[in-house]
Structure 1
Amino acid sequence: MFRLSLSISLILVGGIFGFFYAYVASGINGLNTMAGIDAINAMNAINGAIRNPIFFPFFFLPPIACFIACALARANMRPTSAIWLAVAGMIYLGGGILITMLINVPMNQSLMLVDTATINAAQGDEIWGAYARDWYFWNVVRTICSGFALLCVGNALFRA
């Protein structure tokens, strides 16, 4: 059971790291090539579509999987792996889930309130520019945190 839980932790943390990284590498950069109004509409469509059963386990379950694997590591006399798994779960919980809920989601909700049918192109560019700059920064933070969580899970695997 320990190896299975460790493998699940690795897949989930790796998946969410890849998700955040894709936005760093291309998502926002691609939207930045569009007119502000179009970028706002596209991001709102993405934010509406992300709430789905495929995304759910990769976003919410990594810390749970890490904490279960941690408990099983302790039960199997692998204290070093247990520590790395606990650290991974805590890093992602704070640096992934909490940042998303406290910063990115409220930003997304504010963007949803923008009526792109009633603003002009300059206003759209200004609104999008401010949003994209701040959202991108916090996504980089989430990416770094989930990357460190992935490193911790990898180290737990190596130590097991």
Structure 2
Amino acid sequence: MALLFRLSLSISLILVGGIFGFFYAYVASGINGLNTMAGVDAINAMNAINGAIRNPIFFPFFFLPPVVCFIACALARVNMRPTSAIWLALAGMIYLGGGILITMLVNVPMNETLMLVDTVTINAQQGDEIWDAYARDWYFWNVWRTVLSGIALICVGNAFFRA
């Protein structure tokens, strides 16, 4: 059981760290890079990114962190590591609310709405206006996903150091 606990704890660290890095990349450069493009081009690029993100590489890093954190939490309790269990439970809950829920309730609906924009029939000014509104709101919520997944990562790190 101790080996399973260590393994699940390590996988938690990798998964939460990976998704934190993914969100952070958008904060640091993704949207900023798209903001240098004409609105119509940025819309087309973001739509392409959003279409490509649904893949088997992204799936475990997005959906599995809370699952693995909760498994590690249960194993921490079995292995008499109550402090680690608390940190892992916190990490799973924070990421579940701050990563998955924000994404599903805010970012995905915004992405789906952006996919409906017919960039062939709008003019440059309309494209810029649509992109500016989308990018501003999407960036705001992505910063929250980044901060909260970073806090989840700190929680997993605390669990790791207390194991």
**Considering the TM-score relative to the shorter chain, is it more than 0.5?**
yes
Give the SS at the match of 1:119: coil
Does residue 112 in structure 1 map to residue 134 in structure 2? no
1:1-160 paired onto structure 2 within 5 Å: 1-160=4-163
Cα deviation, residue 109, structure 1: 0.1
Once residues 76 and 29 of structure 2 are traced to their aligned partners in structure 1, the CA distance between those partners, rounded to angstroms, is 37
Structure 1 CA distance, aligned partners of 2:59 and 2:103? 13
How large is the Cα RMSD of the aligned pairs? 0.2
Q: How many residues align?
A: 160
Unaligned runs of 5+ in 1: none
SS of 1:52's partner is coil
Runs of 4+ with >3 A deviation:
none
Question: Structure 1: which amino acid aligns with 2:113?
Answer: S
Q: Given residue 21 of structure 1, which amino acid in structure 2 is its aligned partner? A: Y
Identity, % of aligned positions = 89
Q: Which amino acid aligns with 1:131?
A: Y
Q: Secondary structure at the match of 1:34?
A: coil
Distance 1:75 1:8 in 2: 18
Q: What TM-score comes out, normalization by structure 2 length?
A: 0.98
Output the amino acid matched with 2:158: N
Give per-residue Cα distances to partners, 1:60-117, cap 9 Å, x unaligned.
0000000000000000000000000000000000000000000000000000000000
Shift of 1:31: 0.0
Distance, in Å, in 2 between the alignment partners of 1:144 and 1:72 is 27
